[in-house]
Chain A
C-alpha cells in the first residue's frame, strides 16, 4: 500500500523534512505587505488623524482609518465590542488606528512613521477590581461599570455547609497572565474579489466562527467570507479570532490585491491575547472526617479592553471544578472586568486549570490541617462512574479513583514522608470536557464527509482543525479501523470554510470526540454502502470486508469498487456525509446541564527540588495518569501530555507576561522565558484504558485535561518542599525565596 501513501498538509514527515508551508511561507503574486499603526496610550481620546503624508510614500497602496470603513459593532461572543479600527478613542496600548498596505516592508514602515495622530490621554484602569469601583474610567459607554458579564452560581445549602465545617481553608489566589507562546507568530493573508468576497488565509482553529464574526464586521453575508487555514504553528488558544485577520481583509478590499501581515514577535507580544488573569477569593470547608461541605468563590477576571473569549473562561472558572468533587454546596460569583490592558482570551485549560490551581492548593491545606494524606482526602471526595455531578454532568465513565491509585504507585507516593529537605511531592487531579454545548448553543456536533477515490484511497473531510495535536492521524485511524484498510490509504482534509463541512472548530478539547464520532459514523455508513455496491455489482453473495469486496474467494480492491460506482453513477465518486449530534443538554440559566458527551480525568504527581539559597524550583520528576477512555493514537496522546507538562512547568515556575500601566514589560522571548529542554523533568505518562460509550472507539479528550492538574501538582510539591504555600502564580524563584525568608 505504500504507493497509496497520502500526505496531508499536517503530515508529520512533511513537517520533519521542512516541506510544510505555514502562513509565512505562502506568497501570492502582487501581494502587498500590511502594517498597523497602534496606540501608544492605554487610554486616550483621538483628536485627529492625519494620513496625508503616509499616503505620499512611494509604494504605498492603501491607507485606512476608521472613516474609510464600516462601523458595525461586532465580536466573537454575544458581547459586541469590536471595531475594525479605532475611531474616537483607544482603549489599550496596541489598539489599532491606521492600517497600511505597501509594496515593501520598508515602504510600509516609512508610511507608519508619517502617520500623525493627536491624542488626549485619559486616565486608565488596569486592575480588574479597581475597574468596578465607582469613578473608574469607563471603557465602553454602553456597558455599565466595566462589567460586561457577571456569573452567579449556587447549588446546595451553603449556610448549612458552613455550619457543618470543622476545617475551613482558603485565601486569595492569583493566576497570572500567560502568553500562549506559539512558535509561529500571528499573521494573516487576505484577498478580495467582487464575486467571492473576502478570502483570508489564517491559522484559526475556529474558522467558521471566525467567518461569522468577520462577516458581521464588514456587514457582509457569511458566504462572502472564506477562511482557509494553513498548517498552524502552535496556538493553544491564541489564534481563534483576531483583529489582524480583519485588518488584512480591509486592506485587501481597498487595494484589490493580496495583503499579508505577519506580526513580528514584539508586536505579537505587546498586543497578545494572553490567558485571562484571575484573582480568586476561595474557601473550602470540610467536616472532621474530611468530607467537603462547601466551596465558596469570588473571582475577578481581567478581560482587558475588549472581549475575545474571556466570558466563556469565566463561566468555566465558576463551574468546572465543581464537577470533580462532591463539594456538598457551592457558591460562585464571577466578574468579568474591562481594563485598559490588552484583551485577554483563552488558553489551553480554559479557566479550569487556573481554578484547579486554587482548588487543589486549598485541598492540600485541608489535608495538612486534618493530618490526612492528600491523596486519601481526594479519594474521599471525588466523583465516580455513574454519578451525576453537582452541575449535572452525567459520568458514564470515570476512572479518577484508579488514576489516583496508579499515580501514587508510579510516583512512589509513600516516599513523601521521608524526602530530604527542600524536596517535595505534590498531587493534583483534574477533569475536563470533550466539547462543550454552550460554546455554540445552536449546535455542538460535527459533520464528516468520506469519499472513495478512484485510486482506492479514502478521503475524509471535517470542519474541525488540526493544530498539531494529531487530529488527522486520529481520524485516519478511526476510519481505518472501521473500514479495515491501512491508515496510509486515508487522507484527512480540513481547514477551508469554502470546501469542507461546517464545524465548530477545535476548542474545548472537542476534536477527538465530536469530530471523531462524525468520522466513525461516516466510515460506518461507507462500509455499509460498499457492501451494497459489491452486491449490486457481483451478486447477493458478495461481501465487503477488510477493505475489499469478496466473492467465492476472489477479492476486488477498493479501486475496482470505485470504478464500478463511477460506471453506475455518471462518473461520480462515492461520497457520504454524516453528522454526529451529541446527546448533551445545554446548561440552563443556573449553569445546570450535561454539556459534553463524556468527561476525561487525570491525576498527576510532581516532584520538585527547591534551592533554599535562590528560591529556584527544579521539577525533577513527573507522573501523569489519565482516564481518556480508549487511547486511539498513543504517541500523539502521550505527546499532548508531555507538552502540557512542559507548559505547566513554565506556567508555575517562570512565565509571566508583566504589564505595568497597560504596557507589556517583557515583550520578547528573551525576557518572557519559556521552558527549554533542560527544564523538562523526567516524566512518565500512563493511560488507564477503558471504553467510553459516547466516544469514537471509546475515546475521551486529552488536550486540555493534560494541562489542568499541572499547576496544582507543582504548587503542592513546592509547598511540600518548603512548608510555605504560594498563592500567586508564577511561583518564581524570587517569590519562593521571599516566602522562605519570612519564617
Chain B
C-alpha cells in the first residue's frame, strides 16, 4: 500500500458489521474487501466494470465494486457473497444452481449469485426478466440458461410456499 498523505481511516458497513480500514480513499471497494478484509469471494475479472465478477450489494442494489472508491460508500450497507451465503434462503438458490447447471468454473459465480439474489428480492427493480438483470454479469462457461432457471425455480418455490 503506498503511503500517500491522503491516507486515512474509513468506516465500512460490511455484511452487517462495522469495519475500519485505512488507506487511500480512492482505493477500489473490491480491493478493500479482498485485501483488507480478506473476503476473496468478490472476484476481479476486468477492473473496468464489464465482467461483473466483482458485484456486491450496495444498499441492496448490485454494483460493480471494482469501480467504486471505497471511501465513497461510508455509512452505506455493503453485502458480499460471504454475507449472503450465511442467509438461510440463499441455500435454496445454491441448491437450485447445482441442480440446474448454473455453475462450472465458478469464477463469475459469486457476482452472478449476488445479482440473482438482488433480483429475487425485488424483480421489479430491474424492470424485466433476470436476463436483463444479469446484463452486467458475464459467464463464459454455463450459457446462462441454468442460472436463469435456478432463479425462476426459487422464485416459483417461494411463491408456492406463501
Chain A interface residues (CB < 8 Å from chain B): 12-22, 24-25, 104, 106, 180-185, 231-234, 236, 264-265, 467-470, 635-636, 638-639, 641-647, 668-670, 674, 676-678, 680, 683
Residue of B whose beta carbon sits closest to that of A636 = B101
B130 at interface, CB cutoff 8 A: yes
Q: How far is the CB of A637 from chain B (nearest CB, A)?
A: 9
B137 and A677 contacting across the interface, CB-CB below 8 Å: yes
B107 at interface, CB cutoff 8 A: yes
Residue of B whose beta carbon sits closest to that of A678 = B131
Q: What separation, in Å, do the CA atoms of A496 and B50 have in the docked complex?
A: 33
Q: Which of B68-76, B78-86, B152-160 forms contacts with chain A? A: B78-86
Residue of A whose beta carbon sits closest to that of B106 = A15
A233 and B106 contacting across the interface, CB-CB below 8 Å: yes
Number of interface residues of B (CB under 8 A): 52
> Ordered nearest first, which 10 A-B pairs have the shortest CB separation?
A18-B41, A15-B106, A468-B105, A233-B107, A642-B143, A18-B81, A639-B101, A669-B50, A25-B40, A468-B104
B51 and A183 contacting across the interface, CB-CB below 8 Å: yes
Given contacts A18-B81, A643-B143, A680-B143, whether A184 and B104 have CB atoms under 8 Å apart is no
A639 and B104 contacting across the interface, CB-CB below 8 Å: yes
B45 and A635 contacting across the interface, CB-CB below 8 Å: no
Contact of B139 among A22, A183, A236 (CB under 8 A): A183
A677 and B148 contacting across the interface, CB-CB below 8 Å: yes
Q: Can you list 18 A-B contacts (CB < 8 A)?
A: A15-B109, A16-B109, A17-B81, A18-B39, A22-B107, A236-B140, A264-B47, A468-B105, A635-B99, A639-B142, A643-B141, A669-B45, A669-B138, A670-B48, A677-B130, A677-B148, A680-B143, A683-B143
Q: How far is the CB of A27 from chain B (nearest CB, A)?
A: 9
A24 and B43 contacting across the interface, CB-CB below 8 Å: yes
Q: Which residues of B contact A677 (CB under 8 A)?
A: 130-132, 134-135, 137, 139, 144, 147-148
Residue of A whose beta carbon sits closest to that of B44 = A24
B140 and A183 contacting across the interface, CB-CB below 8 Å: yes
Q: What separation, in Å, do the CA atoms of A181 and B141 have in the docked complex?
A: 10
Q: Inter-chain contact count A-B, CB under 8 Å? A: 170
Chain B interface residues (CB < 8 Å from chain A): 1-2, 34, 39-48, 50-51, 53, 80-82, 85, 94, 97-101, 103-110, 113, 130-132, 134-135, 137-148
Contact of B1 among A17, A104, A185, A678 (CB under 8 A): A104
Q: Which residues of A contact B141 (CB under 8 A)?
A: 183, 234, 468, 639, 643
Q: How far is the CB of A12 from chain B (nearest CB, A)?
A: 5
Q: What separation, in Å, do the CA atoms of A234 and B109 have in the docked complex?
A: 12
Residue of B whose beta carbon sits closest to that of A638 = B101
Q: Which residues of A contact B148 (CB under 8 A)?
A: 677
Residue of B whose beta carbon sits closest to that of A264 = B47
Q: What separation, in Å, do the CA atoms of A528 and B32 have in the docked complex?
A: 54
A470 and B106 contacting across the interface, CB-CB below 8 Å: no
Given contacts A234-B140, A470-B104, whether A184 and B43 have CB atoms under 8 Å apart is yes
Given contacts A669-B51, A678-B132, whether A231 and B106 have CB atoms under 8 Å apart is yes
Quick one: which of B1, B50, B145 has the most chain A CB within 10 A? B145
B85 and A18 contacting across the interface, CB-CB below 8 Å: yes
Q: Which residues of B contact A182 (CB under 8 A)?
A: 105, 107, 140
Residue of A whose beta carbon sits closest to that of B42 = A18
Contact of B103 among A16, A180, A674 (CB under 8 A): A16
Q: How far is the CB of A136 from chain B (nearest CB, A)?
A: 36
A674 and B138 contacting across the interface, CB-CB below 8 Å: yes
Known A22-B107, A677-B130, A677-B148; further 11 A-B contacts with Cβ < 8 A: A12-B98, A14-B106, A16-B103, A234-B105, A265-B47, A639-B142, A646-B142, A676-B138, A676-B144, A677-B135, A683-B145
A680 and B41 contacting across the interface, CB-CB below 8 Å: no
B46 and A643 contacting across the interface, CB-CB below 8 Å: no
Contact of A676 among B82, B104, B113, B135 (CB under 8 A): B135
A265 and B143 contacting across the interface, CB-CB below 8 Å: no
A467 and B105 contacting across the interface, CB-CB below 8 Å: yes
Q: What separation, in Å, do the CA atoms of A25 and B40 have in the docked complex?
A: 6
Q: What separation, in Å, do the CA atoms of A635 and B96 have in the docked complex?
A: 12
Q: What separation, in Å, do the CA atoms of A13 and B91 have in the docked complex?
A: 9
B82 and A18 contacting across the interface, CB-CB below 8 Å: yes
Q: Which residues of A contact B44 (CB under 8 A)?
A: 24, 185
Q: What separation, in Å, do the CA atoms of A17 and B91 have in the docked complex?
A: 9
B46 and A642 contacting across the interface, CB-CB below 8 Å: no
Q: What separation, in Å, do the CA atoms of A81 and B48 have in the docked complex?
A: 35
Q: What separation, in Å, do the CA atoms of A680 and B106 have in the docked complex?
A: 19
Contact of A643 among B34, B53, B142 (CB under 8 A): B142
Given contacts A12-B103, A676-B134, whether A647 and B41 have CB atoms under 8 Å apart is no
Q: What separation, in Å, do the CA atoms of A591 and B147 have in the docked complex?
A: 43
Contact of B105 among A25, A185, A233 (CB under 8 A): A233
Q: What separation, in Å, do the CA atoms of A104 and B80 have in the docked complex?
A: 26
Q: Which residues of B contact A183 (CB under 8 A)?
A: 43, 45, 51, 53, 105, 107-108, 138-141
Q: What separation, in Å, do the CA atoms of A680 and B149 have in the docked complex?
A: 13
B140 and A669 contacting across the interface, CB-CB below 8 Å: no
Q: Which residues of A contact B142 (CB under 8 A)?
A: 639, 642-643, 646
Q: Which residues of A contact B132 (CB under 8 A)?
A: 677-678
Q: What separation, in Å, do the CA atoms of A678 and B128 have in the docked complex?
A: 11
Q: What separation, in Å, do the CA atoms of A184 and B141 have in the docked complex?
A: 12
Q: How far is the CB of B146 from chain A (nearest CB, A)?
A: 6
Q: What separation, in Å, do the CA atoms of A668 and B144 have in the docked complex?
A: 21
Q: Which residues of B contact A668 (CB under 8 A)?
A: 46, 48, 50
Residue of A whose beta carbon sits closest to that of B98 = A12
Q: How far is the CB of B2 from chain A (nearest CB, A)?
A: 5
Q: Which residues of A contact B104 (CB under 8 A)?
A: 234, 468-470, 636, 639, 643
Q: What separation, in Å, do the CA atoms of A635 and B2 have in the docked complex?
A: 47
A16 and B134 contacting across the interface, CB-CB below 8 Å: no
Q: What separation, in Å, do the CA atoms of A409 and B94 have in the docked complex?
A: 34
B50 and A106 contacting across the interface, CB-CB below 8 Å: no
Q: Which residues of A contact B94 (CB under 8 A)?
A: 13, 16-17
Contact of A234 among B41, B98, B107 (CB under 8 A): B107
Quick one: which of B41, B99, B104 has the most chain A CB within 10 A? B104
Q: How far is the CB of B109 from chain A (nearest CB, A)?
A: 5
Q: What separation, in Å, do the CA atoms of A667 and B41 have in the docked complex?
A: 26
Q: Which residues of B contact A639 (CB under 8 A)?
A: 101, 104, 141-143, 146
Q: What separation, in Å, do the CA atoms of A468 and B146 have in the docked complex?
A: 14
A646 and B48 contacting across the interface, CB-CB below 8 Å: no
Q: What separation, in Å, do the CA atoms of A15 and B98 have in the docked complex?
A: 10
A265 and B45 contacting across the interface, CB-CB below 8 Å: yes
Q: Which residues of A contact B50 (CB under 8 A)?
A: 668-670
Q: What separation, in Å, do the CA atoms of A676 and B147 have in the docked complex?
A: 12
Residue of A whose beta carbon sits closest to that of B104 = A468
